[in-house]
Chain A
Amino acid sequence: MQQEYVYKKINHIVFGILSPKLIKKMACTKIVTAELYDKEGYPVDGGLMDIKLGVIDPGLRCKTCGGKLKECVGHFGYIELARPIIHIKYIKVILDLLQSTCRECSRLMLENEKIEEYLRLLEKLEKEKGILQKKRKIKEILVALKKSTKCPHCKAKQIKIKLEKPYSFYEKEKRLTTLEIRSRFEKIPDKDIEILGINPAYARPEWTILTILPIPPVTMRPSITLENGERSEDDLTHKLGDIVRINQRLFENINAGAPEIIVEDLWDLLQYHITTYIDNTVTQIPPARHRSGQLLKTLSERIKSKEGRFRHNLVGKRVNFAARTVISPDPKIRINEVGIPLEVAKELTIPEKVTEWNLEYCKELVKKGPHNYPGANYVIKGGVKKKQITPDTQEQLHNELEPGDVVERHIINGDVSIFNRQPSLHRMSIMAHKIKVLPGKSFRLNPAVTAPYNADFDGDEMNLHIPQNEEARTEADILMQVQTQIITPKNGSNVMGCMEDSITGNYMLTKYLSFTKEKAIEILGKIGIEEFPQFKETVTGKELFSALLPKDFDFYGESKSNEPVIVKKGKLISGTIDEATIGESDGTLLRTIFKSYGPEVCANVLTNSFRLGIAVLLEEGFTTSLKDSDLSESIKEKIQTVIKDSKKVVDGLIHRYHDKQLDALPGKTLKETLEIEILRELNMVRNRVGSIIKESASEFNPTVMMARSGAKGNILNLAQMAACIGQQALRGARIKEGYIKRTLSVFKKNDLSPKARGFIENSFKSGLNPIEFFFGAMTGRDSLMDTALRTPKSGYLYRRLANALQDIKVEYDNTVRDANKTIIQFTYGEDGVEVSKSDKGLIDVKSIIKQVKGG
């Protein structure tokens, strides 16, 4: 590939309308025939596929620039229209202009002094209040202008002009021809149209009515050759063919002096074709179709919408040097590493510049070639010629390699890569990882980084990119690496932390476990820690965990159950480690380390504690089983009475409702009140059952342990498994009637009892009866629907936010400004603190004081 340096930069772009002159100037040929190919299948000269317009067939050369396929970008042509045609997109402006200018003298219907005055006013408005205010003022002027009935310049009386959609203008009953309109427009002085916000330098009014139509290059409407050798032309070519044909006929008819009606019909037909060529979705006219009835995709449709030029091609860029495959977990690699298969490593390359100092190394790479890892795939000679390393060329390339060449070598361990999972909702969805080549065919990542990517391993795929130059690599290395992204700018909490098993492991370890000296050292060895303090014969879990912490680390925090967690001089003195200290988003301990020791140490502690948790579980064994949800008879009884009591309360409520003794809540009917009261009562059942279970369950029950440590689930989940699932709520209420006066046909009409309205008495363990199951399925379906409907809504909100805010940045003077340099905030967030560098949005003065006093 050719190495190119940017030496020119586009400074600005000006928009305007193409004038007939300009169209002719930029065109390379005039199109005269609708024929495409001659008998030999060679493009006809002066046809729509003329090779002066560019080439789309391999082997041919462009007659204009001499370029081959892919070298020539294509050139415009033009056709002369027999009669002027309205450009449908300018229809509104044409109407405005017709209505606000004189039909005789084509002056804007304003006195000369007024024109001057308005021009000055508009200029002032634009300067002081922006373009928007100017546009508003222009609209006001226009409305006033349209009302005038007499021209102040030539005193001619005006006739009302109406637009008959889509493109006919009527002056009373008489239709205005485009010829007339155009001749009127030609006479409008430059100064007059400036008032209407039209810049005469770039858009003269008469240019909105086409006399010459540019023909786009063939490269933009390539034909495709079907399997049977037949050519299938692009939609645009079809449309252009129609236009050229009709135009030709119109010419002939005019020249032959055909009757007015025939000419007008053809004229209209030409207008129709050009209109649909520009926009095939104009209302009131039938869209142009293929023979099969499929709509043609013409110019407007090419630009519009998500699949259009803008959003699909211009804003959405595609890249090389990327790989994609399934991901799988590997806690043994570090959090800022990514494991990649050898196949990928041999395919993705990094350009290595050959110098005197690395000549030998590069030669070695070339010698190894594309199939032996680590080798190289290409050599770029003199910055121009890219040569593939094949068995044939290898020898020569190896010998000729010299400083100044570039070798595209395989990626090796430690290279920087960019790793990404869609949807990329926040900046932690794209992070830099160091390459680690591993056996296997999937990308490996540390489970601790699944949280920011929102990834799991049920078949998720992720993308990997290799930055290709020094600048990109350094930027990724310094700004994007995983450990620098531990704290989210959303709210200053940590997005990475221990998860699931590793939390359980650390919880068990610091709560009650202890090991023999040998075992402890073995475990530390397993997780890769070689430096640890002198251990006694038995090592407590707390001591073991302390081995991960920095030597001079002080920490005061709270565990999930609000007991204090104290670390002094790198030793865990009291408290258990759980979700609140090392978990995702709540990991106070991790955050403190990040703040005082920086990202590297924090990443180390995170990786090590993750491994430690798992190593402990491996050592100790941990499982969860049906047994966990066993309850003793007395507890079962207790739960039954709770349920029975609640049912009684509900029965009482229903009775009072039937006896009309229930007091309605303000603003609610009696029935609504009853429902609210019943729901309140039944919702409490689950909580009550939950607290009974919480009290009765053993601390060493694995399910309870997972819930307490915050690894997974909570006590209510256990309660649902063991005792009672509880009330199913749909849209914040009990399940409503689907049949006449009942939820299901097995119930009596008007049954308001809990079981007839979605209360599930059974537990997951005892099993649900069909009715309960159905109610459960109802709420399940509802929440499924909710997610399905939510995703596009929030996606659109996000797109809009991102589009509106993307160019707002902090300037060098610390103000926050948008692209127009409008100040939005004088100091960001009123104190200039960046959330991702703060502690949950604050600067922790209290801990500074504590630190100073303690030390």
Chain B
Amino acid sequence: MEEIIKKYKGIIPDALLDEINSNSDQLNRKQLEEVLEKTKAAYEFAKIQPGEAIGIITAESFGEPGTQMILRTFHFAGVAELNVSLGLPRLIEIFDARKTIKTPSMEIHLKKECNNDVDKVKKIAAIIKQTRFQELVSEFSINLAKMQVEALLKKKKIREIGITPVTIIKILQETLKSCIVKSDGDKIILKTKVENSELTEIYKLKEKAKTVFIKGIKGVTHVLPVKRGNEFIILTAGTNLKKVLQIKEIDQIKTTSNDIFEIAKVLGIEAARQAVINETTNVIKDQGLEIDIRHIMFISDVLTISGVFKGITRSGVTGEKESVLARASFETPIKHIINAALSGEKDELNSVIENVILNQPVPVGTGLPDLVAKMKDEENEK
């Protein structure tokens, strides 16, 4: 049986062969051959034909459902507590290849040893979450008499995240080099080095002190341990994939971010391609729409084919077309024409829109085949 199936390798896609193979015990030899022949015929029928303008079909497949998508950005991604941007705005974000996305977030999976223990998970979550100085302070005040900033610490919170006031002072002193940091009971006092400094400077100091980064992973503003299936995972707001992947307890394989640029940087362009597929599928599914995976893969390929994650914008994929007329007819026509004139660019007219402009047949689909005729002279020469 295996042998018969093997014969069709390369003729029928492996996935289909596997499916037949898993069902082969129900069939006798003759039936199996018939199934294989019929599958082959079905596959041959379904194969795409050369010349098919597959790009425009993909564009249509996204453009048409786009009109049905909800504009409302925020949606709850499974849990009520964490907002994730979805719907049309998110789709635009992905296709634009925006560098900064609206709601960056990570899905952190943990290694088997610790993904069942709530306490352990919470501990890891606490390590990941970034803490800024203002979160540890219950009250900031400016002492006008002494011209200093006084910060009243939240004792409970400090204990929770496992840090001592001494280390806080140390960190503060290291980051705010222009001032003197002192401890005064529950308070931390910040003073500028310059004598008789102005009030505005003190105020600036206060604001600066608030944002001093104390602990955790930079960029991760919220963490949320959630039970998914029978394991706990950590959802975050804000991403920093590189740092998170360095944490021992984390499952490096499953952990992912929704920031595609970050993935491209940390894990490479192939990972970014997969990330685009995943994120797009996610958006489409969430909207209750159905778009074939081939279109999603296709668009991911287009976005990442150059080795860098590039958006479908005038500075991205469209802006890099070879044809001057194609670029000019999209956006900023004058800029393109001027630059083309300077460098004496040549438009070879081998894509669609230039030929539309010139009233010539377009080189896709039925416009593709050419008739090659042998001229009489040529024949005679031979």
Query: Which residues of A approach B to under 8 Å, CB–CB?
Result: 6, 9-17, 89-90, 93, 131-132, 197-199, 201-203, 279, 300, 303-304, 308, 310-311, 314-315, 317, 425-427, 475, 479, 489-493, 665-668, 676, 680, 731-732, 786, 789-791, 793-795, 797-798, 800-814, 816, 818-820, 822, 824-825, 828-835, 837-838, 840-841, 843-846, 848-849, 851-853
Contact = CB atoms under 8 A, between A and B. Distances in A.
B201 interface: no
Interface string B318-346: 10111111101110011001101111111
A491 B289 CA distance: 10
B343 to A, nearest CB: 5
Interface string B272-313: 000000000000000000111111011101100100000011
A802 B56 contact: yes
A831 B76 contact: no
A802 B342 contact: no
B92 A797 contact: yes
25 contacts: A13-B325, A13-B354, A132-B320, A314-B356, A427-B57, A666-B81, A667-B222, A798-B64, A802-B60, A804-B55, A804-B316, A804-B317, A805-B56, A805-B312, A806-B53, A807-B55, A807-B351, A807-B353, A809-B51, A809-B55, A810-B52, A813-B50, A833-B48, A845-B19, A845-B35
Contact of B290 (A493, A680, A833): A493
Contact of A819 (B26, B39, B321): B321
Contact of A852 (B27, B57, B318, B346): B27
Contacts of B48: 810, 814, 828-829, 832-834
B166 interface: no
B341 A203 contact: yes
Interface band, chain B? 35 or more
A798 B351 contact: no
Contacts of A853: 26-27, 31
Q: Which 3 A-B pairs have the closest CB atoms?
A: A808-B55, A798-B63, A199-B344
B46 A833 contact: yes
A490 B292 contact: yes
A282 to B, nearest CB: 12
B49 interface: yes
Nearest to B83: A732
A798 B66 contact: yes
A205 B187 CA distance: 69
Nearest to B76: A732
Given A15-B347, A491-B291, A809-B52, A832 B63 contact: no
A802 B358 CA distance: 19
B361 to A, nearest CB: 9
B63 A15 contact: no
Nearest to B316: A804
Contact of B95 (A12, A199, A680, A797): A797
A848 B334 CA distance: 57
A852 B61 contact: no
Contacts of B299: 801, 805
Point out which of A797, A832, A840 has the most chain B C-beta atoms below 10 A from its C-beta: A797
B264 interface: no
B298 A816 contact: yes
A786 B71 contact: yes
B197 to A, nearest CB: 37
A14 B347 CA distance: 6
A668 B299 CA distance: 37
Given A198-B342, A814-B50, A667 B318 contact: no
Given A11-B348, A786-B70, 6 more contacts: A15-B340, A490-B291, A666-B225, A794-B63, A824-B302, A846-B23
B38 interface: yes
Contacts of A833: 13, 43, 46-48, 294
B302 A808 contact: yes
Contact of A12 (B54, B57, B347): B347
B42 interface: yes
A828 B294 contact: yes
A261 B19 CA distance: 89
A502 B225 CA distance: 51
Nearest to B290: A491
B350 interface: yes
A308 B95 contact: no
Nearest to B324: A15
B379 to A, nearest CB: 22
A12 B312 CA distance: 26
A10 B360 contact: yes
Contacts of B324: 13, 15
A829 B295 CA distance: 8
A843 B46 contact: yes
A834 B60 CA distance: 15
B294 A835 contact: yes
Contact of B344 (A15, A315, A667, A809): A15
A853 B34 CA distance: 10
Contacts of B352: 806-807, 819
A801 B95 contact: yes
Contact of B349 (A11, A798, A801, A810): A11
A680 B76 CA distance: 13
B66 A794 contact: yes
A721 to B, nearest CB: 24
A810 B51 contact: yes
A818 B364 CA distance: 11
Contacts of A491: 61, 290-292
Nearest to B18: A845
B344 A835 contact: no
A456 B56 CA distance: 26
Contact of A851 (B38, B329, B349): B38
B318 A800 contact: yes
B72 to A, nearest CB: 7
Contact of B343 (A90, A197, A668): A197
A315 B356 contact: yes
B253 interface: no
Contacts of B224: 666-667
B88 interface: yes
Contact of B71 (A132, A303, A793, A812): A793
B305 A822 contact: yes
A65 B80 CA distance: 77
A805 B23 CA distance: 40
Contacts of A794: 63, 66-67, 69, 88
A790 B71 contact: yes
A299 to B, nearest CB: 9
A67 to B, nearest CB: 21
Nearest to A472: B366
